[in-house]
Amino acid sequence: MSKTNSRITRRRFVAGAGVIGLGAATGVIAAPRIVRAEGKITVLNWQGYGTDEAWAVEAFKKATGIEVVHDYFNSEPEMITKLRTNPGAYDVVLTNSSWNGVASGEELIQAIDTAQIKHFADLNPSLRDSALLAKDGKVYGVSWVWGMTAIAYNTEKFNPAPDSVEVLWDPKNAKRVSVRDDAVEAVSYGAIATGQDMNHPKDIEKVKAKLLELKPQIATLWSSEDEWNKLFQSGTFDVAVYWSGSAARSKTNYKLPVGYMVPKEGGIGWFDGLAVASNAPNLSGAHEFINYMVDPTFYVQWATTVGAPASANTKANEQLPADDVGRQIHGDQAAIKRLQFMAPLSDDERQTFSDMWTEVKAEFAK
């Protein structure tokens, strides 16, 4: 997700992916005005999500002579549309593991020469070698960062700390609960709470019924990290679904009494990769930039000065201070084993989730 203020992490934007089917994202988006130079690359990403940190861009240019410019998307469907309608405009593109296959399947991104990524061998094998970032035996995305969507709670209100997803449904927490206004995320937790596969629940009506039971619990819905922090600080809610990197920032940067846990029933896991766009104008520059992004030097500064999801580079995570909140959150191996990782969804599934969430919210509003 984005950062510590209104620019917030990528996760503030994912709502678009939950409510817009890929087939709906076919409108033409005007190509960005890009002045192409010999030593320049263009990166397509969420705004405020690591690659556009001013100090990082400056350091990369100083080391390589390559200038980095950015264009942004507000949802994964928009990212796909920009790649479709602006061939040759981009060099590097951020692709979530559940969308990389869409991009590679349409030949919007190209196979990566991993020999040019000197830190490739240091990446966590379970992420680096994931089939979600590959096609036909070739790598189409270099695993970059990963994180969790689990439950944050007010440590001043909960003693002992909760350990179950049922904390969201506990009558003791009536009007003290918040969830993100995102169809896919809502369905995922409804599925987890009913013991189902969060990506492809077989009993969608059971999921809907479970979500409807949240009506007396909900204080408000949230959509961005900035909004979450303000609502939590004002005492609007005490427990909520939240992103792991954001929870670390809320505790470290905002000094909020935030605890974080992956329920014993499970939580949501996700990981992002960096890809090279088809027809990338600066192919070698794209590879250089991706290598810099997975370099521990970049990651440690990003994580300790801004706050970041966990790195896919195991050496980078090991270099974080022992008391780093993000390291503590992402280093819980037992919690990681309870995660279900996001998988690709069909247009029909996304539409079904979107329609159901719209109906559930309508009931919340009554």
Other beta carbons within 10 angstroms of residue 16's beta carbon come to 16
- In percent, how much of the chain has pLDDT > 90? 75
Cα angle for residues 262, 267, 270 (degrees, 5° grid): 115
Give the pLDDT confidence score for residue 20 in this predicted structure.
28
With beta carbons less than 8 A apart as the criterion, state whether 233 and 256 touch: yes
Residue type, 174: A
> Contact 71/31 with Cβ under 8 angstroms?
no
pLDDT tens for 262-298 read: 999 999 999 999 999 999 999 999 999 999 999 999 9
What pLDDT is stored for residue 308 in this prediction? 87
Burial of 81 (0-12, 13-18, 19+ CB in 10 A): buried
Is residue 321 reached through a cis peptide bond, with omega within 30 degrees of 0 on the bond before it? no
Tokens 């609960």 belong to: 177
Q: Is the pLDDT of residue 252 over 90?
A: no
What are the residues whose beta carbons fall under 8 Å from the beta carbon of 366, sequence distance 6 or more? none
Find all residues with CB under 8 Å of 98, minimum gap 6, and list them.
76, 132, 270, 342, 343, 344, 345
Residue 208 has what pLDDT? 98
Q: Ramachandran region of residue 266, left (φ > 0), alpha (ψ -120 to 50) or beta?
A: left
Domains of the chain (ranges; CATH) run: 10-146+269-330 (3.40.190.10), 147-268+343-365 (3.40.190.10)
**Cβ atoms 29, 36 nearer than 8 A:** no
pLDDT classification of 181: cutoffs 50, 70, 90? very high
One-letter identity of residue 82 = K
Phi then psi dihedrals of residue 66, to 5 deg: -95, 125
Q: Which of 160, 147, 188, 78 is nearest to 332 (CA)?
A: 147
pLDDT tens digits for range 2-59:
333 333 344 333 333 333 233 333 333 344 444 444 599 999 999 888 999 999 999 9
The predicted structure's pLDDT at residue 54:
96
**pLDDT at residue 28, as a whole number:** 39
Question: Considering the entire predicted model, what is its pTM?
Answer: 0.78
Distance of alpha carbon 146 from alpha carbon 128, whole angstroms: 11
Selection from 26, 139, 35, 38 nearest residue 83 by Cα: 26
Residue 195's pLDDT band, with cuts at 50, 70 and 90, is very high
Task: Provide the token pair at 161.
Answer: 């700390």
* pLDDT for position 281: 96
pLDDT tens profile 55-110: 999 999 999 999 999 999 988 889 999 999 999 999 999 999 989 999 999 999 99
Please tell me whether residue 194 adopts helix, strand or coil conformation. Answer: coil
Q: What is the mean pLDDT of residues 206-233?
A: 96
Q: What is the pLDDT of residue 8?
A: 36
- Residue 204: closest CA among 343, 344, 76, 348: 348
pLDDT in tens, 308-336: 899 999 999 999 998 888 888 888 889 98
